[in-house]
Chain A
Amino acid sequence: MMDVRDIQAGPLVSVVLTVRPTDGAAAGALRSALAQDHRNLEVLLAGEDVVRRAQPSELGDSRVRAVPCGGGQAALLDEAARQAQGRYVCYLDGESAWHPHHVRTLVEALEATTEFVAAYADVYDTIWRAGPNGRQVLGKVDHCRRSFDRLLLLHCDYIPLPAVMHRRELRKRTGALSEASGRLASWELLRRVACFTDLLHVPRVTGEVCVPEESPDAGPTDAELAAVRRSRPPRPWPKMKDLSILLAAEGPGLDAAADAAGLREGLYVPFQLYLAAPEAAEAPEGAVHVPVGPDWPWDARVDKALRCCEGDAVAVLPARGRISAEQVTAAFHALVAHAEADEGLLLCPPGGGAWGAVLWRQQWLRARNNWPALPLRRALEADGVRLRPPRPEERPFAFERAFGAARAAEEEGCFRQAAGRYEALAGEHGDADGLAEAAAESLSREGRSDPEALGLCRRVNAARPTVATLLLEARLRKRAHRTAEARDLLLRARRVLQWRPERKGPPC
């Protein structure tokens, strides 16, 4: 019999478990939730026929509450969030499971800080294939061991939702999710969350997400991707600068509409399009139409549209020539992260001639108010705005590029050079364990630096062992004829690989 005082220790945590008809192992996910060593939980089982799909013994647990509702993932997440009562909310689905310390780890991390209202731990991708006796686990690899990077999260779903916990009130601010985002609803949710808060990274593996070796899934559709990228939570966003993109092509505006459609597919930062055109019909879906006369010059169109824009920054696209989504993103990123207060970032189409720029909205408005009679660019210059193109070193994803360069050096056999680059990156960007692992791997491939590689491996395994790091250290010890030590490390790795939600206790 469970002690009530034991159940009520610590804050109440709402576990949202969404179950889709195609999920194969929802029972495992539910069992892993109920086996958490933080006992003060309510488990909201959200899905179309959840009562039928759960085991009677699990539904008999007073902490489990069925939230029968239809619709896609977005609807399930929204409905469960509406009914959640805990101080914190965290998420599971039919293809994920937590180790018993998951909830406790994240609760402790969030309770110890006033700076963060959301956190995430590391999870394994558990790669499996169908075998004669059910699923065979082929490996458990880190999903993506990275500290929080807002731009990266906007670009790709590098944090899986089952790794995340946040304060319940945050969900009210993120607004309802878009049904059109389909299977990407969890990514949409995290993109929205990132507009309001940084996420605290807890570098410890606390769960697993099942990934089939050969996925029958063809990946997200363009419509789902577009829906996620168009999705915008209610403003204001304390942690994200909003970007307005202003198209004011001269003439009837059809070119501008085509440009808008192209940009919409490639941009991953939250943005709002404004199309200054004579006819509303020319505005693509989701764009704000700013009516202008058919014979208005470009400057006049921009002036009118600027007064409608609500973004913190405004990208005014050139009158002629096409600007890519990458150019807009690079200029926006340079403005937010690198530019001086009096600088603006130029957008120049190939071939030259026309110009555009990304500036803070206040810079645009002040220049136009102070110098209404001057052409737009002259007005900016007269107001002291220094326009310049983004510099190469200001491009986003500096870490990813540097990591890629180290990886390329490793692939070319320059193992020591690669290891040096990984270690230098650790000094600049953090993520010390992941980069130490990469350096150790590279040194072990070199074959002449085993003691150095072993030192790095031991450090990682003392702090944050994974199957991969245990295997690497075991191989190094075996090469040094320390077979018994290698065996013990491999036994630990095997225990992690054999862990299933139905097994009691931690994997390692």
Chain B
Amino acid sequence: MATGKEGTTVLSVRDLQAGGDARAGRTQHFDVLMELGDCHAALGELDQAVECYLEAVELEPRRAGPHVGLGIAALQAGQLDDAEYWFAAAARHEPDCAEAYGGLAIVHQQREDFAAAFDMHLKCLELDTDNLVALLGLFQTSCQMGSFAKVIQYLDLYLQRHPGDTSVLFCLATLYAREGRFENARGCLRSVLALEPTKHEARDMLRQVEEHIRPTEALDALSA
């Protein structure tokens, strides 16, 4: 409703507009640029993507989205310093932006600074436990560093919400096996094979895991 200076109320045209169009109109140009930038990036048209994200930054300099887009484009172009600059800017503008930390983690990972990458992956997962890229990144950096406790916790959390994700189940099985927790590993691998019976690497690993378990089971049977 529009209100006259002295308080009279008159129905305004904006009250009749479809679904908060007027409100949506304030971010429409930004939304078009971001969507277009993402499409260009997905199609490998990096120059056009960068152009869109830069325009979006001009419109909304304090929004993280276009900074993240620019960071990803820089990563794809192999420009790690630029990527770090844009991801850091995104994190500065929106400290809750999980993608910004995920991007920084990838930058550190590519520089083989696994400790820093691990921290950034963790930060990303704290903000977005559903972030599969960060989860797998955390798994990879853990493998490099030989420290798995944190990863197992996040993989477990993820699987509670996505119990059918066989790639994550397989990662978890790998970690359990490396930790010597063969029973857990066998459970994960059986779940993988129930969902994907033709997954050969899971079948192979299950065979290896069972070879570790069998002597223990035989000993248990003897002692019983």
Contact = CB atoms under 8 A, between A and B. Distances in A.
Interface in A469-508: 471, 474-475, 478, 483-484, 486-487, 490-491, 493-494, 497
B27 A497 contact: no
A468 B7 contact: no
Interface stretch (B16-24, B143-151, B186-194, B211-219): B16-24
A219 B35 contact: no
Contacts of A484: 39, 43
Given A156-B10, A222-B5, A141 B25 contact: yes
Contact of B25 (A138, A265, A407): A138
B32 A493 contact: yes
Contacts of B222: none
Contacts of A79: none
Contacts of A141: 17, 21-22, 24-25, 28
A138 B35 contact: no
Interface residues of A, number: 51
A137 B29 contact: yes
A219 B4 contact: yes
A392 B33 CA distance: 47
B28 A139 contact: yes
Interface stretch (A143-151, A166-174, A287-295): A143-151
A213 B26 contact: yes
A315 B3 CA distance: 28
Nearest to B11: A156
Interface centre among B22, B27, B28 (most CB of A within 10 A): B28
Given A138-B59, A139-B24, A483 B42 contact: yes
B32 A497 contact: yes
B60 to A, nearest CB: 9
Interface string A118-154: 0000000101000100001111111111100000100
Contact of A222 (B8, B12, B29, B38): B8
Given A467-B32, A484-B43, A438 B10 contact: no
Contacts of B77: none
B113 to A, nearest CB: 33
A316 to B, nearest CB: 26
B31 interface: yes
A136 B24 contact: no
A407 B19 contact: yes
Contacts of A497: 28-29, 32
Contact of B58 (A131, A265, A487): A131
Interface in A380-423: 400, 403, 407, 410
Contacts of B4: 219-222, 224-225
A474 B39 CA distance: 10
A163 to B, nearest CB: 12
B87 interface: no
B13 interface: yes
Nearest to B6: A222
B13 A157 contact: yes
Interface string A211-224: 00100001111101
B39 A125 contact: no
B5 to A, nearest CB: 5
B130 to A, nearest CB: 16
Nearest to B30: A138
A205 to B, nearest CB: 13
A242 interface: no
Contacts of A403: 16, 18
A432 to B, nearest CB: 13
A441 interface: yes
A143 B30 CA distance: 19
Contacts of B58: 131, 136
A156 B25 contact: no
B132 interface: no
A487 B18 contact: no
Contact of A139 (B5, B18, B29, B43): B29
Interface in A219-263: 219-222, 224-225
A464 interface: no
A47 interface: no
Contact of A155 (B6, B11, B32): B11
Contacts of B40: 487
Contacts of A221: 4-6
B32 A222 contact: no
A487 B32 CA distance: 10
Contacts of A146: 16
A158 B19 contact: no
B16 A140 contact: no
Nearest to A158: B13
B127 interface: no
Nearest to A438: B18
B16 A158 contact: yes
Nearest to B37: A490
B75 interface: no
Given A138-B25, A156-B11, 14 more contacts: A125-B25, A131-B59, A138-B27, A145-B18, A219-B4, A220-B4, A224-B4, A403-B16, A438-B19, A467-B32, A471-B32, A486-B35, A487-B43, A494-B32
18 contacts: A138-B25, A138-B29, A139-B26, A141-B28, A142-B18, A156-B16, A219-B4, A222-B6, A224-B4, A441-B18, A468-B28, A474-B39, A475-B35, A484-B43, A487-B39, A490-B35, A490-B39, A493-B36
Question: Which 6 residue pairs spanning A and B have beta carbons closest together?
Answer: A139-B28, A139-B25, A141-B25, A487-B39, A490-B36, A222-B6
